[in-house]
Chain A
Amino acid sequence: AQSVSQHNHHVILSEAASLELGCNYSYGGTVNLFWYVQYPGQHLQLLLKYFSGDPLVKGIKGFEAEFIKSKFSFNLRKPSVQWSDTAEYFCAVTAYGNNRLAFGKGNQVVVIP
């Protein structure tokens, strides 16, 4: 079964700083990769996803993620964060053809104005 690792559970940074959240998965076959975000008091929602093609994917609100197959990684980045990016971020992976989505433990990101 696939599993996901996210490091640095709590991240605190100032507005305009750059953000990078690491995500590593363990599965040797073809995978589909996702980042979900949960803003305070809101539902989980999809930030971006990778299925195939260009390994650099762009999502909503200026976020992007890069799939590096050789490193089993799918790191999330944003060049300049805003206070409104305060949220919990979850990386998720599913094996191709599988209907199970495995989530990481999440990164709690706090952006200080």
Chain B
Amino acid sequence: DVKVTQSSRYLVKRTGEKVFLECVQDMDHENMFWYRQDPGLGLRLIYFSYDVKMKEKGDIPEGYSVSREKKERFSLILESASTNQTSMYLCASVPTGGVGNEKLFFGSGTQLSVL
């Protein structure tokens, strides 16, 4: 079965810390995405990647960066965590056809709390 695995289910960090959120997919998908999910705001796209070492900003990239050194792994980096980055972070992937033609496969999410 298809799998998108996020390394941590819950994470607690302090303001100013550098935070790494890891996502691995086992489906050989080209496209990978990071969303944040907040109550009443739905899912908002942070960054996505359509190939190794390729990335594009989503709708809310400020305060985040990403890394995609291998096809199966897409990392989200919070350079200096702030309290307004407390959220549920969702990773997703989709094959070559892209989001317009294929369904997204989501991970189970990482609930990040920044204190």
Known: A43-B106, A44-B106. A101 touches B42 (CB 8 A): no
Q: Which residue of A lies closest to B99 (CB)?
A: A101
Contact indicator A106/B48 (Cβ below 8 Å): no
Complex formed: what's the CA distance from A4 to B101 in Å? Answer: 18
Complex formed: what's the CA distance from A90 to B44 in Å? Answer: 12
B45 cross-chain contacts in A, Cβ below 8 A: 100-102
Complex formed: what's the CA distance from A90 to B103 in Å? Answer: 14
Q: Which residue of B lies closest to A46 (CB)?
A: B103
Contact indicator B104/A101 (Cβ below 8 Å): yes
Say how far A14's CB is from chain B's closest CB, in angstroms: 24
Contact indicator B43/A90 (Cβ below 8 Å): yes
Q: Which residue of A lies closest to B30 (CB)?
A: A99
Say how far A35's CB is from chain B's closest CB, in angstroms: 11
Q: Which residue of B lies closest to A6 (CB)?
A: B42
Say how far B7's CB is from chain A's closest CB, in angstroms: 16
Say how far A43's CB is from chain B's closest CB, in angstroms: 5
A46 cross-chain contacts in B, Cβ below 8 A: 103-104
Say how far B37's CB is from chain A's closest CB, in angstroms: 9
Q: Is B90 an interface residue (CB 8 A)?
A: yes
Q: Which residue of B lies closest to A97 (CB)?
A: B100
Say how far A95's CB is from chain B's closest CB, in angstroms: 8
Complex formed: what's the CA distance from A36 to B67 in Å? Answer: 27
Q: Is B108 an interface residue (CB 8 A)?
A: yes
Q: Is A32 an interface residue (CB 8 A)?
A: yes
Q: Is B110 an interface residue (CB 8 A)?
A: no
B48 cross-chain contacts in A, Cβ below 8 A: 99-100
Contact indicator B42/A100 (Cβ below 8 Å): no
Q: Which residue of A lies closest to B35 (CB)?
A: A103
On A, residues with C-beta under 8 Å from B are: 1, 4, 6, 9, 32, 34, 36, 43-46, 49, 51, 90, 94-106
